[in-house]
Amino acid sequence: MPEVQPKQKRKTDIGPPHYEKFLPPIIKENYGKWKYHEVLKPGVMVTVSETGARLYTVRAGSPRLLSIDKIRAYADLADKYCNGYLRFTSRHNVEFLLTDESKIDPLIRALDALGHPVGGMANSISSIVHTQGWVHCHSSATDASGVVKAVMDDLILYFTEMKLPAKLRIALACCLNMCGAVHCSDIAILGIHRRPPKVNRDRLKATCEIPSVVSACPTAAVRPVTVDGQPSVEVIEERCMFCANCFTVCPAMPINDPLNDGVSIWVGGKVSNARSEPMFSKLAIPFIPNNPPRWPEVVEAVRNLVEVWARNARKYERMGEWINRIGWPRFFEMTGIPFEKVHIDDFKHAGTTFKRSTHLTY
Amino acid sequence: MAEKKRSTPQLDELEKGSWPSFVKEIKTAAEKNPMANDLLGQLERSYEDKISHWKHGGIVGVLGYGGGIIGRYSDLPEEFPNVSHFHTIRINQPAGWFYTSDVLRKLCDIWEKHGSGLTNMHGSTGDLVFLGTKTDELEPTFNELTDLGFDLGGSGSDVRTPSCCCGMARCEWACYDTMALTYFLTMHYQDELHRPAFPYKWKFKMSGCPNDCVAAIARSDMSIIGTWRDDIQVDEAAVTEYAKSGVDIQKDVVGNCPAKCMEWDGKKIKIDNKACVKCMHCINAMPKALAPGKDRGACILIGAKAPIVEGALLSSVLIPFIKLVPPYKELTDLVEKIHELWAENGKNRERVGEFIQRIGMGNFLEAIGVEPTPEMVAHPRENPYVFYEEYFEEDSEDNKNA
Amino acid sequence: MAEQVTVQEVSDAMYKMIKDSMGQKKWKATDLTKAVTELFGDRCNKDLTKAAIRDLIENGKCVYTYFGGSFIEIPHREGAEN
């Protein structure tokens, strides 16, 4: 820990700046007075106040990982087109907040020139919420940014157009910790480990507290042992479902395995309450090996899911709502995904996921 | 620049294609910044080896805080010395992620001086992320950030940086002021945000309506989702406009109503508001014609989390309806009771949702003094395994009429 | 009512607990709070334990660490840093 400069009075617990400092005048004047909004074209929306004021939003996609040079470029665009006011969305898009309608198209052209497509509104695929992957995470079972880039290169027309039956939300998490909480997405790409952790005894002794490592395991696969008179732990391999919780608690339990780590794909989750209640995503494709730099098998699998859904879903029907209507047997048939043993839940309360009726299609 | 450019044949493949490229971002930063250059080198190695080359660091931080810095070390420090330490700084974003160009430039200047020049706009929880710097740079970066009026966000077993949708700033559906509440909670829990004192993380997320744009119901221990109690507001002329413009109101709007509480006779829409479950579909479909009612507030749900440790959970209803207006005393009283109970009885890494599963929702409600109501369950229990605590005894007074 | 202990006494007691069990037990803030409450009984309260933890951290005697949860430890160079 570096020494603190005594001459400088440290400020702490000041919290974030108050958001009002960053709101454009039109928002301050119409805060809480908005009447309706309308998507004018892909990535462009007008929000109309009861006072008649019109706020235009232009939304552009982003890789989330941004250099300060790019942020400065955003700032320059904001100065040029909207008096310096911009915001970011929960899905990493950048939004420019305009009051002058005539500046919308020039801004779109400038964003295109900068390499940032405008879109991601209404019945489209918005940016993929994702995690750090190999760029910055120690427990990642796959890269995040690379997979996202390859998938979005392939699906970009679904971002810049609004031709889908409903919105489609894709998310990627590079391990089960799910920093991106992907478990309620239309399509979730999830990095998975498939081999048990290896115990590094010397490091374990130096850095980890054995009772915490043992209690970290949700299936009691980690148990204390004495090796050469030294306390340590062992892993009962057949009980391990590769969650890596022990590795999070104790760095001496590495679980990463280049040969066996990879990607699984989950479908049909949603968080919105619109029409149907929020739902978890369910397992569609258990495992696809990592194939950097462009993960072609993942790209192909995601495209297939998007297209089968887009062709068959009714207007407003999210992925999960479509599957609930047609049933899982038809989902597997239509997507051509083989149904395997691992699709059947065998963890806690698995029985509630079995089909308990004769409501079947033939 | 003195540093040799890294050869990155695999990553170069990710500069192709029309979606904006994160590799281009790292390369841009690497032009001037040796950390970004070594990041590029190490990432290329991960692409060759199909494995992460980062090690977890659990000790680094700024003085006095237990959250806000994520420690990272390279496992190839000789080859990539400039990322041998590469710690992340989480900066508490302004509510709703609104910025001015001016403040963004000042943030960039700080990061140009002290770090890799790479960021996440934003991290999954909502923080503005400064991606990667050395241990010695943490304290100076923090001091410059606080001079600019910014503070660190949460990490570890603390209150994580609260986040919200843009609410009343740009949305007609906001049923309460999400940004005001987010700012209030962030300031109210500054100590709990910076000094971890819980069994595990605690997330607040604020969504202004049941569309839940910040995924509160899936991702936060306390999900505060706007809703209303009275009748949907209907502008009949605007409904007619939608019908005229080709919207199939019967099929697309009425036909999708989960409560079957709407009727359309080709001229007028009729809503049985008593039966409406406030799902938002009809309002989403005809935003000019329909709007949430005027008696607005929020539903508070509890316990969402991702799978680790005991499995993923969605939040469930705790307070079916609450008016959310300053000073939010009813809300903070409730939060304090929950925090006290969970801090006292929760196990290490046990989120409040898992804690509730372990002790039972009924016991949890009793302990925090909230009456059980049918809104809290999808349906009553299906099994008869009831843990009765009270029973009749022979000759007792209560037994006379039994 | 019993006379209250001082912040210093509480933080000293906490420090001793952490030092005496180094390598065997990692302490969370809640564990320390419970342990000193047991030790001092009603002479101690939540405000005191909070202030004592803050004192330990801000004087540099202890640091917060993170290993799948946040702990309070005596500063040491971490394995990963060596």
Cβ A208–C78 below 8 Å, yes or no? no
Residue A162 pLDDT: 96
Q: Which of A111, A178, A273 to mutate to test the interface with B (most CBs of B within 10 A)?
A: A273
Q: How far is B74 from chain C (nearest CA, A)?
A: 8
- pLDDT of amino acid B398: 60
How do residues A262-314 score in pLDDT, each as one tens digit?
A: 999 999 999 999 999 999 999 999 999 999 999 999 999 999 999 999 999 99
Q: Do residue B47 and residue A280 have CB atoms under 8 angstroms apart?
A: no
Q: Which of C30, C76, C81 is the closest to B199 by Cβ?
A: C30
Comparing alpha-carbon positions, the chain C residue that sits nearest to A208 is C23
Q: How many domains does chain C have?
A: 1
Beta pairing, strands A44-49 & B269-271:
unpaired
- Against chain B, the chains showing at least 3 CB pairs within 8 Å are A, C
Q: Which helix (H) or strand (E) holds A267?
A: strand A262-267
Q: Which two tokens stand for residue C21?
A: 């069990």
Say yes or no to pLDDT of A61 above 80. yes
Q: Please give the residue of chain A at the shortest CA–CA distance from C79.
A: A207
CB–CB contact B196 C50 (8 Å): no
Res. A179: pLDDT tops 90: no
Nearest to A108 by CA among A123, A91, A121: A121
Determine how β-strand A170-173 pairs with β-strand A187-192.
parallel
**pTM, rounded to two decimals:** 0.95
**Which of A272, A276, A324 is the best substitution to test chain B (most B C-beta atoms within 10 A)?**
A272
Separation between Cα atoms, residue C57 and residue C66, nearest integer Å: 14
pLDDT at site B359: 96
Residues B332 and B324: beta-carbon distance below 8 Å:
no
Say if residue C82's pLDDT is above 50. no
Token representation of residue C35: 């342990």
> Considering the domain boundaries, does residue C32 fall inside one?
yes
Instruction: Mark yes or no for CB contact A65/B105 under 8 Å.
Output: no
Residue C42, in any domain of the structure: yes
For residue C75, give the nearest of A1, A211, A249 by CB distance: A1
**Chain B contact for C37 (CB, 8 A cutoff):** no
Chain B residues with CB-CB distance to C54 below 8 A:
64, 195
Please check the confidence at residue B396 and state whether its pLDDT lies above 80. Answer: no
**Which among C54, C55, C65 is the top mutation candidate for probing chain B, defined by the most B β-carbons within 10 Å of its own β-carbon?**
C65
- Residue A181 falls in which region: left (phi positive, over 0), alpha (psi -120 to 50) or beta: left
**pLDDT above 90 as % of chain A:** 88
| Mean pLDDT of all residues in B284-306 | 97
Domain span at C19: 7-81
Cβ atoms of B208 and B226 within 8 Å: the answer is yes
**What share of chain B in percent tops pLDDT 70?**
98
Answer yes or no: is pLDDT of C68 > 50. Answer: yes
User: Which of C14, C26, C30 is the best residue to mutate to test the B interface, defined by the most B CB atoms within 10 Å of its own CB?
Assistant: C30
What pLDDT score was predicted for residue A209? 87
Q: CA-nearest residue of chain C to B197? A: C29
Mean pLDDT on B16-42:
97
Distance from the C7 Cα atom to the nearest Cα atom in chain B, whole angstroms: 17
Token output for A69: 């040079």
pLDDT at position C76 is: 80
Taking an 8 Å cut-off on Cβ atoms, the answer to whether B172 and A34 are in contact is: yes
Q: Which helix (H) or strand (E) holds A137?
A: none
Do B16 and A156 count as a contact with CB atoms less than 8 A apart?
no
Q: What is the mean pLDDT of residues A43-48?
A: 98
Contacts (Cβ under 8 Å, ≥6 apart) of A111: A58, A60, A77, A117, A118
Q: What is the pLDDT of residues B126-182, one digit of tens each?
A: 999 999 999 999 999 999 999 999 999 999 999 999 999 999 999 999 999 999 999
Q: Which residue of A has its CA nearest to B99?
A: A22
Considering only residues C80 and A109, tell me which one the structure prediction assigns the higher pLDDT.
A109
Structure-token match 């019993």, residue found: C2
Q: Which residue of C has its CA nearest to A204?
A: C79
Cβ neighbours of residue A15 under 8 Å, at least 6 residues apart?
A: B92, B151, B183, B186, B187, B190
Tell me the residue length of chain C.
82
Q: Is the pLDDT of residue A1 over 50?
A: no
Q: Does the residue C43 lie in any domain?
A: yes
pLDDT at residue B171, rounded to an integer: 97
Which three-class secondary structure state does DSSP give residue B69?
A: strand
Query: Residue A348: its pLDDT value, please?
Result: 82
All residues of chain A having their beta carbon less than 8 Å from the beta carbon of residue C75 are 1
Mean predicted lDDT score pLDDT of chain B: 95
The pLDDT value recorded for residue C1 is 55
Could you tell me if C38 lies within 8 Å of chain B, comparing CB atoms? no
**Residue C61 forms part of a structural domain:** yes
Tell me if A149 and B93 make a contact (CB, 8 A cut-off): no
Which residues, at least 6 apart from A316, have a Cβ–Cβ distance to it below 8 Å?
A165, A166, A275, B252, B256, B281, B285
CA-nearest residue to A247 within chain C is C68
Query: What mean pLDDT comes out for the span B338-361?
Result: 95
Q: In the structure, what pLDDT confidence band is assigned to residue B122 with cuts at 50, 70 and 90?
A: very high
Chains that touch A (3 or more CB pairs under 8 A): B, C
Q: Which of C47, C68, A130, A250 is nearest to B201 (CA)?
A: C68
Q: Does residue A56 have a pLDDT over 50?
A: yes
pLDDT in tens, B354-376: 999 999 999 999 999 999 999 99
The helix-helix angle for B22-30 and A145-160 (nearest 10°) equals 120
Complex ipTM, two decimals?
0.95
* CATH number for C49: 1.10.10.10
pLDDT reported for residue A180: 72
- What is chain A's mean pLDDT, rounded? 95
Query: Chain A to chain B, count of Cβ pairs less than 8 Å apart?
Result: 366
Cross-chain Cβ contact B195/C57 below 8 Å: yes
pLDDT at C79 exceeding the cut of 60: no
- Which 3 state secondary structure label does DSSP give B210? coil
Select from C26, C60, C68 the Cβ nearest to the Cβ of A248: C68
Is residue C29 a part of any domain in this protein? Answer: yes
Instruction: Please determine, for residue B294, whether its predicted confidence score (pLDDT) is greater than 80.
Output: yes
Find, in chain B, the residue whose alpha carbon is nearest to that of C29. B197
Mean pLDDT of B216-245: 97
Considering the domain boundaries, does residue C2 fall inside one? no
Q: Is residue C1 part of a domain?
A: no
pLDDT band per the 50, 70, 90 thresholds, residue A8: low
- Which residue of chain A is at minimal alpha-carbon distance from B119? A66
Handedness of CA A9, A10, A13, A18 (dihedral sign): positive
Weakest mean pLDDT among B46-50, B229-233, B390-394, C50-54:
B390-394
What does the angle CA B192 – CA B195 – CA B197 come to, to the nearest 5 degrees? 70
Which residues on chain A are in Cβ contact (under 8 Å) with B123?
Answer: 179
Of the candidates A1, B61, A250, B66, the one whose C-alpha atom is nearest the C-alpha of residue C72 is B66
SS3 per residue for B109-170: HHHHHHCCCEEEECCCCCCEEEEEECHHHHHHHHHHHHHCCCCECCCCCCECCCEECCHHHC
Q: How confident is the model at residue B3, as a pLDDT?
A: 64
Residue-wise pLDDT tens digits, A79-132: 999 999 999 999 999 999 999 999 999 999 999 999 999 999 999 999 999 999
